[in-house]
Copies of this chain bind each other. A is one copy, B any other.
Amino acid sequence: VQKRSEETKGKIIHAAATCFSKNGYDATGVSEICATAGVSKGAFYHHFESKQAVFLCLLEGWLAELERDLLALYQQDTPLPEILSRMTGSFQVIFDTAGDQLPMFLEFWIQAWRDPVVWSAAIKPYRRYQEIFAEMFKVGISEGSIKEDIDSKLAARTLVALAVGLLLEGLMDPDKGDWGKASAESVRLLVDGLKKG
């Protein structure tokens, strides 16, 4: 079977995520990944063309998961403020569970800025997130929970940017215990200003 093969590939991907998170893309060597995964270089280059290929694989998985989560939120039949509240409520959870892989986010960003291949793989999903939120705000306006004079696209853009900014701040701040709560409050501060009444 090729079950064994899939397993090896999984180990490599997992190891790569760990290494990239810990030391960054550039500073991580292929040998290091192999050692962490417990496989040989031959195995690595059998499954992936290059170091970048693993990185892209990682990126795609991350983006797909993010979009899935987002769409799950969107399709619920709930008022927008409630949705955002839930979302922010899950910030701390995100941090606690996937906190180790969070530095990867920065790594993705920086590589995307430099490498056109990574860029095009990252920018499209990113735009889609903005569109999803814009759609949410539109619904919010039509359902009367958001002020009518708000530009839904601008609001979406702002919200996403704020989230990104808060994420970066969370990276720097060692006080991760409070990060989720504080971030939720920040988002609420923004959203409160958009709410009607």
Chain A residues within 8 Å of B, Cβ to Cβ: 23-27, 103, 106-107, 109-110, 112-114, 119, 122-123, 126, 150-151, 154-155, 157-158, 160-166, 168-169, 171-172, 182, 185-186, 189-190, 192-194
Contact = CB atoms under 8 A, between A and B. Distances in A.
A125 to B, nearest CB: 12
A151 B27 CA distance: 41
15 contacts: A106-B109, A106-B113, A107-B110, A109-B171, A113-B172, A123-B172, A126-B172, A158-B190, A161-B166, A162-B165, A162-B190, A163-B165, A164-B168, A165-B165, A165-B166
B112 A172 contact: yes
B182 A157 contact: yes
A110 B164 contact: no
Interface of A is mostly: helix
Contact of A168 (B25, B154, B165): B165
Of all A-B residue pairs in the complex, the 8 with the closest CB atoms, nearest first, are A193-B193, A165-B165, A26-B26, A161-B165, A164-B165, A158-B186, A162-B162, A161-B166
Contacts of A192: 193
Contacts of A190: 158, 162, 189-190, 193
A166 B162 CA distance: 8
Contact of A164 (B126, B169, B182, B193): B169
A162 B158 contact: yes
Contact of A103 (B26, B113, B164): B113
Contact of A186 (B110, B157, B168, B169): B157
